[in-house]
Structure 1
Amino acid sequence: MGTENAAVNFSELVNKNKQTLARLQESPRLLLHRRDGEDLVLTTAARAEQDQTVVSAATRMLVAMARREPGSMELLLDILPDAFPWVRFLPEPDLHAFAVELVDTMRAADSLGNSASVAQLLIAWQHTAEVYSDPELLAALTRDHGEDYGPVPDPRDVA
Protein backbone atom coordinates (compact mmCIF):
# COMPACT_ATOMS: atom_id res chain seq x y z
CA MET A 1 0.00 0.00 0.00
CA GLY A 2 1.49 3.36 -1.05
CA THR A 3 1.88 6.30 1.28
CA GLU A 4 1.85 9.13 -1.24
CA ASN A 5 -1.36 10.76 -2.34
CA ALA A 6 -2.51 10.00 -5.86
CA ALA A 7 -3.56 12.93 -8.03
CA VAL A 8 -6.05 13.02 -10.88
CA ASN A 9 -8.19 15.56 -12.65
CA PHE A 10 -11.69 15.93 -11.26
CA SER A 11 -13.07 14.96 -14.66
CA GLU A 12 -11.57 11.48 -14.22
CA LEU A 13 -13.71 11.00 -11.12
CA VAL A 14 -16.78 12.01 -13.09
CA ASN A 15 -15.99 10.03 -16.25
CA LYS A 16 -14.25 6.98 -14.78
CA ASN A 17 -15.58 6.90 -11.25
CA LYS A 18 -15.01 3.20 -10.47
CA GLN A 19 -11.41 3.17 -11.71
CA THR A 20 -10.66 6.49 -10.03
CA LEU A 21 -12.17 5.45 -6.69
CA ALA A 22 -10.26 2.17 -6.87
CA ARG A 23 -7.08 4.25 -6.52
CA LEU A 24 -8.07 4.84 -2.88
CA GLN A 25 -7.05 1.22 -2.31
CA GLU A 26 -3.47 2.20 -3.18
CA SER A 27 -3.33 5.67 -1.65
CA PRO A 28 -4.80 7.12 1.56
CA ARG A 29 -6.01 10.21 -0.26
CA LEU A 30 -6.83 11.22 -3.79
CA LEU A 31 -6.05 14.77 -4.85
CA LEU A 32 -8.63 15.98 -7.36
CA HIS A 33 -7.41 18.85 -9.53
CA ARG A 34 -10.19 21.18 -10.64
CA ARG A 35 -9.93 23.60 -13.52
CA ASP A 36 -12.33 26.19 -12.16
CA GLY A 37 -12.05 25.80 -8.42
CA GLU A 38 -9.90 24.81 -5.50
CA ASP A 39 -8.46 21.30 -5.63
CA LEU A 40 -10.23 18.71 -3.49
CA VAL A 41 -8.97 15.80 -1.42
CA LEU A 42 -10.96 12.59 -1.40
CA THR A 43 -10.46 9.94 1.26
CA THR A 44 -12.50 7.25 2.93
CA ALA A 45 -14.59 8.02 6.00
CA ALA A 46 -12.55 5.48 7.96
CA ARG A 47 -9.29 7.19 6.99
CA ALA A 48 -10.67 10.63 7.87
CA GLU A 49 -11.79 9.30 11.26
CA GLN A 50 -8.34 7.78 11.84
CA ASP A 51 -6.67 11.08 10.97
CA GLN A 52 -8.94 12.95 13.39
CA THR A 53 -8.24 10.39 16.12
CA VAL A 54 -4.49 10.83 15.69
CA VAL A 55 -4.69 14.64 15.70
CA SER A 56 -6.95 14.57 18.75
CA ALA A 57 -4.62 12.22 20.65
CA ALA A 58 -1.56 14.34 19.83
CA THR A 59 -3.42 17.47 20.89
CA ARG A 60 -4.51 15.97 24.20
CA MET A 61 -0.97 14.79 24.94
CA LEU A 62 0.49 18.21 24.15
CA VAL A 63 -2.11 20.01 26.26
CA ALA A 64 -1.61 17.61 29.17
CA MET A 65 2.16 17.98 28.95
CA ALA A 66 2.03 21.78 28.79
CA ARG A 67 -0.32 22.03 31.76
CA ARG A 68 1.27 19.34 33.93
CA GLU A 69 3.76 21.52 35.79
CA PRO A 70 5.64 24.79 35.25
CA GLY A 71 8.72 23.03 33.87
CA SER A 72 6.63 21.52 31.10
CA MET A 73 6.06 24.89 29.48
CA GLU A 74 9.83 25.41 29.40
CA LEU A 75 10.17 22.06 27.63
CA LEU A 76 7.55 23.14 25.11
CA LEU A 77 9.39 26.42 24.58
CA ASP A 78 12.61 24.43 24.02
CA ILE A 79 11.11 22.15 21.37
CA LEU A 80 9.08 24.75 19.45
CA PRO A 81 12.08 25.82 17.31
CA ASP A 82 12.46 22.22 16.15
CA ALA A 83 8.82 22.06 15.06
CA PHE A 84 8.58 25.65 13.82
CA PRO A 85 12.05 27.02 12.98
CA TRP A 86 10.61 30.49 12.32
CA VAL A 87 9.89 31.00 16.06
CA ARG A 88 13.58 31.85 16.47
CA PHE A 89 12.70 35.33 15.18
CA LEU A 90 10.06 35.94 17.85
CA PRO A 91 11.06 37.94 20.93
CA GLU A 92 10.94 35.90 24.14
CA PRO A 93 7.59 37.30 25.37
CA ASP A 94 6.01 36.58 21.98
CA LEU A 95 7.43 33.06 21.92
CA HIS A 96 5.79 32.39 25.28
CA ALA A 97 2.52 33.97 24.10
CA PHE A 98 2.61 31.80 20.97
CA ALA A 99 3.13 28.63 23.01
CA VAL A 100 0.24 29.40 25.35
CA GLU A 101 -2.07 30.42 22.50
CA LEU A 102 -1.12 27.34 20.47
CA VAL A 103 -1.92 24.94 23.31
CA ASP A 104 -5.19 26.70 24.16
CA THR A 105 -6.30 26.92 20.53
CA MET A 106 -5.42 23.29 19.83
CA ARG A 107 -7.47 22.21 22.84
CA ALA A 108 -10.47 24.31 21.82
CA ALA A 109 -10.25 23.24 18.16
CA ASP A 110 -10.03 19.59 19.17
CA SER A 111 -13.22 19.96 21.20
CA LEU A 112 -14.96 21.10 18.01
CA GLY A 113 -13.25 18.63 15.69
CA ASN A 114 -12.19 21.52 13.44
CA SER A 115 -8.54 22.50 13.08
CA ALA A 116 -9.06 25.63 10.95
CA SER A 117 -8.39 27.94 13.90
CA VAL A 118 -5.07 26.18 14.61
CA ALA A 119 -3.98 26.58 10.99
CA GLN A 120 -4.92 30.27 11.08
CA LEU A 121 -3.04 30.77 14.35
CA LEU A 122 0.11 29.18 12.90
CA ILE A 123 -0.10 31.35 9.79
CA ALA A 124 -0.60 34.53 11.84
CA TRP A 125 2.34 33.81 14.14
CA GLN A 126 4.53 32.85 11.20
CA HIS A 127 3.77 36.22 9.61
CA THR A 128 4.66 37.90 12.90
CA ALA A 129 8.00 36.08 12.88
CA GLU A 130 8.55 37.22 9.28
CA VAL A 131 8.13 40.84 10.38
CA TYR A 132 10.66 40.39 13.20
CA SER A 133 13.09 38.71 10.79
CA ASP A 134 13.23 41.77 8.54
CA PRO A 135 14.66 44.85 10.32
CA GLU A 136 13.40 47.26 7.65
CA LEU A 137 9.87 45.87 7.74
CA LEU A 138 9.87 45.84 11.55
CA ALA A 139 10.99 49.48 11.61
CA ALA A 140 8.34 50.49 9.09
CA LEU A 141 5.56 48.76 11.01
CA THR A 142 6.61 49.96 14.46
CA ARG A 143 7.57 53.53 13.55
CA ASP A 144 5.37 56.26 14.99
CA HIS A 145 3.70 57.83 11.98
CA GLY A 146 2.54 60.86 13.89
CA GLU A 147 -1.15 61.48 13.97
CA ASP A 148 -3.51 58.91 15.46
CA TYR A 149 -6.78 58.75 13.58
CA GLY A 150 -8.63 57.20 16.49
CA PRO A 151 -10.42 53.90 16.78
CA VAL A 152 -11.30 51.98 13.64
CA PRO A 153 -15.04 51.49 13.19
CA ASP A 154 -16.38 47.97 13.27
CA PRO A 155 -16.74 46.91 9.59
CA ARG A 156 -20.10 45.31 10.36
CA ASP A 157 -21.45 48.77 11.27
CA VAL A 158 -20.34 50.38 8.01
CA ALA A 159 -23.05 50.48 5.36
Structure 2
Amino acid sequence: MATPTVSFSELSKNSRHVAETLDRVQRLHITRRDGEDLFLTTARHDQRRAETAEITARLITALMSSDEGSRAVRRALPAVFPRTRHLSTAETEEFATELISATSDATELDVHANLHRVIVEWRATSRVLADPELPRRLTRPLPDADHGEVPAP
Protein backbone atom coordinates (compact mmCIF):
# COMPACT_ATOMS: atom_id res chain seq x y z
CA MET A 1 0.00 0.00 0.00
CA ALA A 2 1.37 3.40 -0.98
CA THR A 3 1.88 5.94 1.76
CA PRO A 4 -0.23 9.09 1.20
CA THR A 5 1.70 12.33 0.86
CA VAL A 6 0.86 15.78 2.20
CA SER A 7 2.90 18.95 2.24
CA PHE A 8 4.26 20.43 5.44
CA SER A 9 2.23 23.57 4.80
CA GLU A 10 -0.94 21.46 4.52
CA LEU A 11 -0.07 19.86 7.84
CA SER A 12 0.31 23.25 9.50
CA LYS A 13 -2.79 24.77 7.88
CA ASN A 14 -5.12 21.76 8.14
CA SER A 15 -3.71 19.75 11.03
CA ARG A 16 -7.12 18.40 12.03
CA HIS A 17 -7.80 17.01 8.55
CA VAL A 18 -4.27 15.56 8.36
CA ALA A 19 -4.73 13.93 11.79
CA GLU A 20 -8.00 12.38 10.62
CA THR A 21 -6.24 11.03 7.53
CA LEU A 22 -3.45 9.68 9.71
CA ASP A 23 -5.97 7.86 11.91
CA ARG A 24 -7.22 6.08 8.76
CA VAL A 25 -3.91 5.27 7.06
CA GLN A 26 -1.51 5.05 10.06
CA ARG A 27 1.40 6.69 8.20
CA LEU A 28 1.87 9.86 6.12
CA HIS A 29 4.72 11.16 4.01
CA ILE A 30 5.24 14.87 4.73
CA THR A 31 7.09 16.81 2.03
CA ARG A 32 9.06 19.94 2.86
CA ARG A 33 10.57 22.51 0.53
CA ASP A 34 13.33 23.61 2.89
CA GLY A 35 14.30 20.37 4.54
CA GLU A 36 14.28 16.62 4.49
CA ASP A 37 10.89 14.97 4.07
CA LEU A 38 9.27 13.48 7.15
CA PHE A 39 7.05 10.54 7.97
CA LEU A 40 4.26 11.00 10.47
CA THR A 41 2.90 7.85 12.02
CA THR A 42 0.64 6.80 14.84
CA ALA A 43 2.29 5.39 17.94
CA ARG A 44 0.45 2.10 17.46
CA HIS A 45 1.72 1.74 13.88
CA ASP A 46 5.29 2.56 14.93
CA GLN A 47 5.14 0.06 17.80
CA ARG A 48 3.89 -2.65 15.44
CA ARG A 49 6.68 -1.93 12.95
CA ALA A 50 9.27 -2.04 15.73
CA GLU A 51 7.86 -5.29 17.10
CA THR A 52 7.85 -6.85 13.63
CA ALA A 53 11.48 -5.85 13.07
CA GLU A 54 12.50 -7.13 16.49
CA ILE A 55 10.78 -10.49 16.02
CA THR A 56 12.32 -10.88 12.57
CA ALA A 57 15.80 -10.06 13.84
CA ARG A 58 15.44 -12.42 16.81
CA LEU A 59 14.21 -15.20 14.51
CA ILE A 60 17.18 -14.78 12.18
CA THR A 61 19.58 -14.61 15.12
CA ALA A 62 18.08 -17.78 16.59
CA LEU A 63 18.35 -19.55 13.24
CA MET A 64 21.99 -18.55 13.02
CA SER A 65 22.72 -20.29 16.32
CA SER A 66 22.44 -23.76 14.74
CA ASP A 67 24.30 -25.15 11.75
CA GLU A 68 21.07 -26.12 9.99
CA GLY A 69 19.50 -22.71 10.58
CA SER A 70 22.66 -20.91 9.56
CA ARG A 71 22.73 -22.83 6.27
CA ALA A 72 19.06 -21.97 5.69
CA VAL A 73 19.67 -18.25 6.25
CA ARG A 74 22.72 -18.28 3.97
CA ARG A 75 20.77 -20.16 1.26
CA ALA A 76 18.04 -17.51 1.51
CA LEU A 77 20.45 -14.57 1.04
CA PRO A 78 20.41 -14.68 -2.79
CA ALA A 79 16.61 -14.44 -2.78
CA VAL A 80 16.71 -11.37 -0.52
CA PHE A 81 19.94 -9.90 -1.94
CA PRO A 82 20.31 -11.19 -5.54
CA ARG A 83 23.55 -9.24 -5.90
CA THR A 84 25.31 -11.74 -3.60
CA ARG A 85 25.85 -13.92 -6.68
CA HIS A 86 28.81 -11.64 -7.43
CA LEU A 87 30.42 -12.36 -4.04
CA SER A 88 32.76 -15.23 -3.28
CA THR A 89 31.74 -17.82 -0.69
CA ALA A 90 33.98 -16.13 1.88
CA GLU A 91 32.55 -12.69 1.06
CA THR A 92 29.00 -14.03 1.33
CA GLU A 93 29.85 -15.47 4.76
CA GLU A 94 31.32 -12.13 5.84
CA PHE A 95 28.25 -10.28 4.56
CA ALA A 96 25.92 -12.68 6.39
CA THR A 97 27.85 -12.29 9.63
CA GLU A 98 27.88 -8.49 9.40
CA LEU A 99 24.20 -8.45 8.43
CA ILE A 100 23.21 -10.57 11.44
CA SER A 101 25.25 -8.43 13.85
CA ALA A 102 23.89 -5.19 12.45
CA THR A 103 20.31 -6.52 12.52
CA SER A 104 20.76 -7.44 16.15
CA ASP A 105 22.11 -3.94 16.90
CA ALA A 106 19.13 -2.39 15.16
CA THR A 107 16.66 -4.23 17.36
CA GLU A 108 18.56 -4.48 20.62
CA LEU A 109 20.15 -1.03 20.62
CA ASP A 110 17.84 0.88 18.25
CA VAL A 111 20.89 1.66 16.09
CA HIS A 112 19.78 1.44 12.47
CA ALA A 113 22.62 3.30 10.75
CA ASN A 114 24.96 0.32 11.07
CA LEU A 115 22.50 -2.03 9.32
CA HIS A 116 22.02 0.49 6.54
CA ARG A 117 25.82 0.91 6.22
CA VAL A 118 26.36 -2.87 5.94
CA ILE A 119 23.75 -3.17 3.18
CA VAL A 120 25.05 -0.14 1.26
CA GLU A 121 28.70 -1.19 1.51
CA TRP A 122 28.05 -4.76 0.36
CA ARG A 123 25.85 -3.46 -2.46
CA ALA A 124 28.80 -1.32 -3.60
CA THR A 125 31.14 -4.31 -3.36
CA SER A 126 28.76 -6.36 -5.49
CA ARG A 127 28.57 -3.58 -8.08
CA VAL A 128 32.34 -3.48 -8.35
CA LEU A 129 32.59 -7.26 -8.68
CA ALA A 130 29.74 -7.41 -11.22
CA ASP A 131 31.81 -5.41 -13.71
CA PRO A 132 34.78 -7.56 -14.78
CA GLU A 133 36.72 -4.51 -15.93
CA LEU A 134 36.22 -2.42 -12.79
CA PRO A 135 38.17 -4.57 -10.28
CA ARG A 136 41.11 -4.63 -12.70
CA ARG A 137 41.07 -0.83 -13.05
CA LEU A 138 40.69 -0.30 -9.30
CA THR A 139 43.52 -2.67 -8.35
CA ARG A 140 46.07 -1.72 -11.01
CA PRO A 141 49.33 -0.23 -9.75
CA LEU A 142 49.36 3.52 -9.45
CA PRO A 143 52.02 5.60 -11.17
CA ASP A 144 55.06 6.33 -9.03
CA ALA A 145 54.29 10.05 -9.05
CA ASP A 146 53.14 11.52 -5.75
CA HIS A 147 49.81 13.25 -6.22
CA GLY A 148 49.98 15.08 -2.91
CA GLU A 149 47.78 14.98 0.14
CA VAL A 150 44.29 13.61 -0.24
CA PRO A 151 41.76 16.13 1.08
CA ALA A 152 39.30 14.98 3.70
CA PRO A 153 35.84 14.28 2.27
TM norm structure 2: 0.89
Structure 1 residues without counterparts, runs of 5 or longer: none
Gaps of 5+ in 2: none
| Residue equivalent to 1:86 | 83
Q: Which amino acid aligns with 1:52?
A: A
> 2:25 aligns to what SS in structure 1?
coil
Matched, 1:126 2:127: no
**Inter-partner Cα distance in structure 2 for 1:84 and 1:45:** 31
CA–CA separation in structure 2 for the residues paired with 1:146 and 1:78: 42
- Checking the alignment, whether the CA contact within 8 Å between 2:6 and 2:30 is kept in structure 1 is yes
1: CA distance between counterparts of 2:58 and 2:31? 34
Residue 106 of structure 1: how far off its partner (Å): 1.0
Q: Which secondary structure does the structure 2 equivalent of 1:46 belong to? A: helix
Aligned pairs, how many? 149
Q: Name 2:106's counterpart in structure 1.
A: 109
Q: Does 1:95 align with 2:92?
A: yes
Task: Provide the identity percentage.
Answer: 30
Tell me which of 62, 76, 82 is aligned to 1:64. Answer: 62
TM-score, with length taken from structure 1: 0.85
Superposed displacement of residue 78, structure 1: 0.9
* 8 Å CA contact 1:52, 1:113 repeated in 2: no
Residue deviations 1:99-144 (CA, integer Å, cap 9, x gap): 0111111112211123221111101110110000011211111223
Match of 1:35 in 2: 33
